[in-house]
Every structure is written in C-alpha cells, then in structure tokens.
Amino acid sequence: MNTLNKLLKGLIIKNNFLFEQIKFASHFNFYPTEYLNEENKEKINLCQAINSALNIALEEDPNSVCFGEDVAFGGVFRCSVGLQNKFGKERVFNTPLCEQGIVGFGIGLAVTGSNAIAEIQFADYIFPAFDQIVNEAAKYRYRSGNQFNCGKLTIRATWGAVGHGALYHSQSPEAYFSHTPGLKIVIPRGPSQAKGLLLSCIEDPDPCIFFEPKILYRNAVEDVPAGKYILPLGKAEIVREGKDVTLVGWGTQLHVLMETADLAEKELGILCEVIDLQTIIPWDVETVAKSVTKTGHLLISHEAPKTCGFGAEMAATIQKECFLNLEAPIERICGWDTPFPHVYEPFYLPTKWRCLEAIKKLIKY
Amino acid sequence: MPHILFCRSVSRVGTFIGKQTSINSTCKFSNVEADTFKLQEFAGKYLGNKKVLFTERLEFRTPKDCDAMPIYRCVDSNGNFLDENEEPKFTKEVAQKIYMEMTKLNTMDKILYESQRQGRISFYMTSYGEEASHLGSAAALEPRDLIYGQYRETGVLLWRGFSLDQCMNQCYGNKLDPGKGKQMPVHYGDAGLNFVTISSPLTTQLPQAVGSAYSFKLSNPTKSFDQRRIVCVYFGEGAASEGDAHAAFNFAATLKCPVIFFCRNNGYAISTPTSEQYSGDGIAGKGIGYGIHTIRVDGNDVFAVYNATKAARVLALTNCPVLIEAMTYRLGHHSTSDDSTAYRSADEVKEWTELDLPILRYRKFLESKGWWNMEMDKQWLSKIKSEVLESFNKAEKVKKLPPDELFNDVYAEIPEALKKQKTELLNHLEKYGERYPELENFEK
C-alpha cells in the first residue's frame, strides 16, 4: 500500500496538468472525518480512497472488472492508477467512447454474474446512458420476476461543482435518477466515506450509481482505514449534533453546511445539527425526521437546481412526518434554476452566506 | 522541433518517386521515409493492420461501387438443395422437431392473435413468416448459449423447451408466470433456458449481450470445450438504427467478444419500410465497417440460417463477433395494435405468402425425404391446435398473484419507505376492495 501511495503521489504531481482545480476551489473548507479510529490508517485523498476501494474489489472477487473511457492508463482523474498493471488488461480496460454502450455492457456483465464497475467520466455525460440506467438496469429484477438481475453493476461518475467546470463538468444529476425505483444513488463527502460506501455499492445486490465529488479528489485528505470496511447504504450520518436547526446536505455541500454551522454558532449562537444524507435513494427518512422533530427547523441544501431537486422530495416527506414539530417552513438553498454557468459559479453556488441567511430567517420566523 | 514540410505530391507506396521539397536546406527530409512511416503508422495503429495506400486521385467511394452482399441460401422455394454439400444432415427426429416447433408457433400465434381480438389478453405479437429464422438459428446454438431477444423470437424459446403453458401464463400474467405478471404479453424470459427476459425498449439488449459475452470470454478458457458459451442476440432491422446497435457492434469488435448478432430484416419497422430506415447495404453492410465477420442469409431457408449460425458459433468461440442478417418478410401485422393494410398493399403480403412461405418450403423438404406427409400434417396440426387451446383455457382460469406482489423485486430487499406504501395499499384495499372488481382475479 505504501508503495502504491508513493506511486500515486508521484503520478499526481506529474500529472497535475490534467486537473488544476486547487487554485479555483474556494467555496468550501474540507472538514475531515475523525470518527473512524481504526489502528491501521493512512493519510490519503478521495482519489486514492477510490483507488484503494477498487483495488480491494478487484482483489477480492476474480469476477470483478473495471472499465470505461481512459480507465486503463489510470483515468483522467487518476482513480484507476496501477490497476491494469496489477490485474491485467482483461479486467481493467478502456471501452470505446460511448456512454450508452458502457452502461449496457456493464449490465450484460452483471447479468452473467460478473462484478461490473463502470466509469462515466463526468456525471454530465451520463445522460446518453439514461435509457440503459432507467429502463434497463433499474427494472431488470422487477420485470423478470427476479429471474435475472444486474445487481452487480456499479456506475461511478465524477460529480458536482469544480470551480470552473461550467455547464458540462459541474452537474449534479442525482435527482433525475432519484425518480427511478430500482436504483441506489450514493454520494460520499470525503475519503473515508468514499471508500466505505463504494465498497458497499460494489457488494450491494442492486445496481448503484456512485457519484464522486471531483473537487474533493485532491482537496480532501484525511486518515482512512487501510483495510477493507464498508459503510451501510440507506443510512444518513449525523456529522454534528445540535438542537436549534437541522441542516441536511451531501457531497461537497456538507462541508459548506459545516462551515455555516460554525458561523451560526459564532455569530448567532445557534446550534445546528448537520446531517450527511449519503444515500439519495433509498434515503434515510428516519434520521432526518428524528432530527427535525428535535430542532423544529430544517434547511436542505444542494448544488443542483432547486426545482424538482432532491430537496423537494425531502421537504415534502419531512413536512408530512414532522408537521406538528415544524416551527418554520422548510427552507431549500440550492443552485438556481439555470444551467451551471462558467464565470458566474461563485454566485450560482448555494454558499455558506446564503445558507447562513436562511438560518437567520428560519429562526426568526 | 523539425520544420513542417510541404509535400506537393505524395507518391503511392511501392514506387516512392515523390519530389523531395524542402523549405529549409538545413533540414534533411525524405519523402520516402516519411511516407513509409506514415503508412506504417496508419495501417498498424489506426486501421487494424490493414494495408493502406496513398492516392493522388480525388475520388469519393460511393455505395454504388460495391454490390450488395449476396444472400446465402441452401434450398430453392421447393425445398430442393441447390448444392447438396450444403445440406446440414439433420437426423429425422431433429428435422421433424424443427417443423413441429415452426407449426406449433404458427398455431399458437393464430389462437393468441384471435384471443386478443376477443379481448381475452391485452396484447400479442405474431411471428408469421419468420419461423425459419427462429428455428434454424436456435437449432444451431447450444442450450447453454445465452440468448437475448427483441420480442419476435418465440420460436427460439419453443425450441429450447419453453412450454405452451409458460407462454400462456406469461400472456395472462397469472401466478404461474415466472415474470410474476409484471410485463406485457410476449415479454418472455427463462433463466433455466438461458433466455434473458425480453424488454420493450428496442436494442437495449445489444450492448448487454456484448457485456455477457465478455464475461464468457473471461470464463471460457477455464472450461472444457463442450462447456464454453457464447451469446446470441436477436434484433430487427429497425432496431439496428438505435444508438445502442452502434455501441454494441463497436464494443463487440474492439473488446473481441464471443457474440452473434442476429438481425431479422423483415422489411418493416411497424409502418416504416427499410427505404426509410437506412440507405446502405442493409444491416450486413454495416458489419465490415465495425470489423465484424458478416453474412447475409435467406431468412426463410432453415438450412441457410442453420449453417450460418453454426459457423458463426465456431467463429464466436474464437472471440470473433459475427453479424448475421436474415432476409425475411413480416407477414403479420406489427402487433395487435397495428393494422398493416394502412401502409402496405395486400398484394405484397399475398405474393410473399404464395411464393415463399418458410413453413411450406421446409415441409417440402421433409416430404422429399419421406419424413412427413399430408396425413401426418393433418394429425399434428389438429393435435397441436387442441393442445394450444387447452393450455390457453387453463391459463385463463389461473388467478394472479396478490396485488401487493407489485412491490416485490424492485430491489433485492424492500426498502422501508416501500414497505410503508405496501401497507398503505393493503389498508386501502381493506376499505375500498369492493371498488376494485378485478380484485377477485387476484389471490389474497
């Protein structure tokens, strides 16, 4: 593992022309996770955590394969570095440039029992595969009366704002897929979650989409358990406890909410409970509802546009579950209902200042 | 950095008499060397090691430069072999079974089509005119080979042992349907028979078939020869226009997968004639472009389909994908929701019926062998008709699974929120059950 780490670090420095994000990344500060206190830990970033999970998956199951565009040489984000050398060209390989083919091909592998780990280079480019994901992968088990399934399919895709990605390197398409029964959608907030949740997705008996916040690939560094571990799907995590307002988010936005919570405490004396949803569907209603029952205030925040974003589903459900406990209307601070813009990104994002203002209004309501 | 040189005239390879034009005398540069280098690079790295030349003639290749790929056939329309070496030497039993399954399919089609007209099932699609392509190909595959279909391949299932009862149960969606009544009629599937459940979205099964074939490619070397598997995937010529077809052909070729693409070109995609579907040399004309072994066969000739599929299977086992285009004609309507007289002439259908009916063509062969006669035919057809009717009536009486079956198999395990919805439905039915008269057709 150490050698691989050195190798990874070497490659990152060598290849940082591929991905110069750091100087643009300013809308959040990374809050590392400290709750995983295993003995054997290594300080790695999110990209390395993904690499570590893929290594474990390929090692454990000889029927697992990794494929996608430019995966063989290590991936344009370096997540699959070293895998082809270690596991061979038949198990880690490039496909032609065709997203509908990648997902269809992955479904076929999974139907015959192979563990298929497909990569879509950017979540923005997952839409050509929408039909294969929504009409096929999601419905395979149901429509065949459980005679066939593609549960061994995991689709990884880079996700979210990156500072300068504009329309097609910034999208957060989770809500499109959340309307599709049969899929699981998972988004980690840091290296520890990325590794544990990705390994869960790979083992899960249902097709999973795993969105990786690409701005965190290098920015997020923390101690991650070196061996194999999994984090449960369908479970939200209370990252910070509080009593006044519940803040729910996922991915990068979780860090924005953490900072908002700090600001709220410092400036307003308000104690926020911050929840990382982690699994978009099926989502953990119980954890969120319990928190809102306690705090009486809910703020949901995501980078994706507001209208029909996943926050809408959450708001409607929590409004029904916690009607008597709510002391103010549920607030949603999201991306605006526009395409994701280039130079206007700082004004598009649901910043900590917008979130802080929302908390003020919630409390004053 | 070498200077960029302008070559006014580049010679053909082999002669290399091009002028050497240098714009910088300090830079030595040879056209011969450059041309050789480029041709080697293009041929070796860009064009799959195919020899390539430069040309100085400005000339577009036109589709007319190439003849259409010929249609391979074995017997004439009277069932006589045109080249006796092409006869696949079926045993009497196999030869008869092929005929019996073709006619069984035809009989079932007639009865289920009529039953849909009477409103007893919601939907049906017949296979009229395409029976030979189903049975010829199915007989050439091994039962362990995995099949992906489009929806008009019922004969392949029958060959593998899918029973009339199973067909009827699926069409009725009763509790004996292995699909548990979730899909429309004709969306058959059987894991035990290695036939992947059919879905309505066209062509989605093609890249999936390639993925399954890739998985066989990885596992085949660990198995004895008689355990190795390939994938055969069926689709119509209309479906071949979908992006997924392009994806599948390209993936199969670049990733070298043991897969047979079997295209049923029956002239129509619902109302759209092939002239509005493509402009090239049919579907076969696409194969070579993807680097796929390709053949066009007479889809109404069981033997041609059988021989081509058999040979394709051998090729596929060497990880060479194969494309077979079976030329046939959709005699029936597209489905029970379609009246094909709205877009094609009755004469056209009549001519195909009179001049090239695959079942008849095959029966003539059986008769010439002395393996079938009018008397046998009468007996068999009446027997199979009563079997179909019996099976049909039986399936109609079987109840459907309980209503809350609708929540099963969405996921491997029912998520909490879905369990709540299930309870919600059950509570609702408790209160309003009598408002749902169809409830009596479902088990409790």
pLDDT of B261 > 90? The answer is yes
Q: Single out the residue of A278, A276, A299, A354 nearest to residue A31, CA to CA.
A: A276
Q: In this complex, do B197 and A141 lie within 8 Å of one another by their Cβ atoms?
A: no
Task: Please tell me whether residues A262 and A201 are part of one structural domain.
Answer: no
CB atoms within 10 A of CB A41: 15
Task: Please tell me whether residues A66 and A186 are part of one structural domain.
Answer: yes
| Disruptive mutation site among B150, B157, B203, B214 for chain A (greatest number of A CBs within 10 Å) | B214
- What are the chain A neighbours of B410 within 8 Å (beta carbons)? 141-142, 181-182
The count of CB pairs under 8 A between chains A and B is 161
Q: Is residue A247 part of a domain?
A: yes
Q: In this complex, do B218 and A90 lie within 8 Å of one another by their Cβ atoms?
A: yes
User: Is A181's Cβ below 8 Å from some Cβ in B?
Assistant: yes
Task: Please tell me whether residues A50 and A119 are part of one structural domain.
Answer: yes
Q: In this complex, do B218 and A116 lie within 8 Å of one another by their Cβ atoms?
A: no
Q: In this complex, do A112 and B146 lie within 8 Å of one another by their Cβ atoms?
A: yes
DSSP letter at B400 equals B
Q: Dihedral of CA B342/B345/B346/B348: which sign?
A: negative
Task: Please tell me whether residues A212 and A314 are part of one structural domain.
Answer: no
Task: Please tell me whether residues A202 and A66 are part of one structural domain.
Answer: yes
How many Å apart are CA A199 and CA A206, to the nearest integer? Answer: 13
CB-nearest to A112 from B187, B201, B215 is B215
Could you list the residue range(s) of the whole structural domain that residue A258 is in?
237-363
Contact A88, B183 (CB under 8 A): no
How many Å apart are CA B395 and CA B390, to the nearest integer? Answer: 9
Q: In this complex, do B207 and A65 lie within 8 Å of one another by their Cβ atoms?
A: no
> What stretches in chain A show pLDDT beneath 70?
1-25, 35-38
How many Å apart are CA B435 and CA A270, to the nearest integer? Answer: 53
- What are the chain B neighbours of A140 within 8 Å (beta carbons)? 197
Which residues does A362 contact at the CB level (< 8 Å), separation at least 6? Answer: A245, A297, A299, A328, A331
Task: Please tell me whether residues A179 and A263 are part of one structural domain.
Answer: no
What residue of A is the nearest CA neighbor of B184? Answer: A143
Decide if B56 is catalytic: no
**CA A59 to each of CA A203, B65, B218: distance values in angstroms, whole numbers, following the listed order:** 13, 53, 16
DSSP letter at A242 equals -
CATH of the domain at A99: 3.40.50.970
User: Is A116's Cβ below 8 Å from some Cβ in B?
Assistant: yes
The pLDDT assigned to A35 comes to: 65
DSSP string, A91-145: TEEE--S-HHHHHHHHHHHHHTT-EEEEEES-GGG-GGGHHIIIIIGGGHHHHTT
pLDDT digits (tens, 9 = 90+) for A277-306: 999 999 999 999 999 999 999 999 999 999
| Disruptive mutation site among B166, B175, B215 for chain A (greatest number of A CBs within 10 Å) | B215
Q: Is residue A22 part of a domain?
A: no
CB atoms within 10 A of CB A59: 12
Strands B322-327 and B293-298: parallel
Q: What is the ipTM of this complex?
A: 0.93
pLDDT of B11 > 90? The answer is no
The pLDDT assigned to A36 comes to: 61
Contact B439, B403 (CB under 8 A): yes
Task: Please tell me whether residues A211 and A254 are part of one structural domain.
Answer: no
Q: In this complex, do B208 and A107 lie within 8 Å of one another by their Cβ atoms?
A: yes
User: Is A130's Cβ below 8 Å from some Cβ in B?
Assistant: no
CATH of the domain at A309: 3.40.50.920
Q: Where in chain B is the domain with CATH 3.40.50.970?
A: 84-396
Helix (H) or strand (E) holding A196, with range, is helix A191-203
Task: Please tell me whether residues A111 and A248 are part of one structural domain.
Answer: no
Q: In this complex, do B211 and A65 lie within 8 Å of one another by their Cβ atoms?
A: no
What residue of A is the nearest CA neighbor of B208? Answer: A108
Q: Give residues 232 to 271 of A whose Cβ lies within 8 Å of B.
A: 234
Decide if B199 is catalytic: no
CA distance A31 to chain B (A): 31
Q: In this complex, do A108 and B243 lie within 8 Å of one another by their Cβ atoms?
A: no
User: Is A144's Cβ below 8 Å from some Cβ in B?
Assistant: yes
What token pair was written down for B387?
């079997």
Task: Please tell me whether residues A97 and A219 are part of one structural domain.
Answer: yes
What type of residue sits at position A289? A
Contact A157, A209 (CB under 8 A): yes
Q: Single out the residue of B232, B235, B230 nearest to residue B258, CA to CA.
A: B230
Task: Please tell me whether residues A330 and A282 are part of one structural domain.
Answer: yes
CA distance B149 to chain A (A): 13
pLDDT digits (tens, 9 = 90+) for B12-41: 444 444 444 444 544 556 789 999 999 999
The pLDDT assigned to A19 comes to: 42
What token pair was written down for A228?
């194999």
Q: Which of A225, A259, A277 is the last residue of a domain?
A: A225
In this prediction, residue B137 has a pLDDT band, given cuts at 50, 70 and 90, of very high
Decide if B334 is catalytic: yes
Domain B84-396 fold is Rossmann fold (3.40.50)
Task: Please tell me whether residues A165 and A75 are part of one structural domain.
Answer: yes
The pLDDT assigned to B9 comes to: 40
Q: Which of A190, A225, A260 is the last residue of a domain?
A: A225
What residue of A is the nearest CA neighbor of B192? Answer: A147
The pLDDT assigned to A302 comes to: 98
CA distance B301 to chain A (A): 31
CB-nearest to A135 from B182, B204, B214 is B204
Q: Is residue A6 part of a domain?
A: no
Catalytic residue among A27, A69, A119, A169: A169
What residue of B is the nearest CA neighbor of A96? Answer: B251
Q: In this complex, do B179 and A143 lie within 8 Å of one another by their Cβ atoms?
A: yes
In this prediction, residue B63 has a pLDDT band, given cuts at 50, 70 and 90, of confident
Q: Single out the residue of B122, B210, B198 nearest to residue B154, CA to CA.
A: B198
The number of folded domains in chain A is 2
The pLDDT assigned to A39 comes to: 79
The pLDDT assigned to B390 comes to: 97
pLDDT of B221 > 90? The answer is yes
Q: In this complex, do B182 and A142 lie within 8 Å of one another by their Cβ atoms?
A: yes
Task: Please tell me whether residues A197 and A259 are part of one structural domain.
Answer: no
How many Å apart are CA B168 and CA B394, to the nearest integer? Answer: 9
| Disruptive mutation site among A63, A109, A112, A320 for chain B (greatest number of B CBs within 10 Å) | A112
Q: Which residue has the higher pLDDT, B306 or A24?
A: B306
Indicate the average pLDDT of chain B: 93
pLDDT of B4 > 60? The answer is no
Decide if B114 is catalytic: yes
CB atoms within 10 A of CB A119: 27
CB-nearest to A114 from B182, B215, B231 is B215
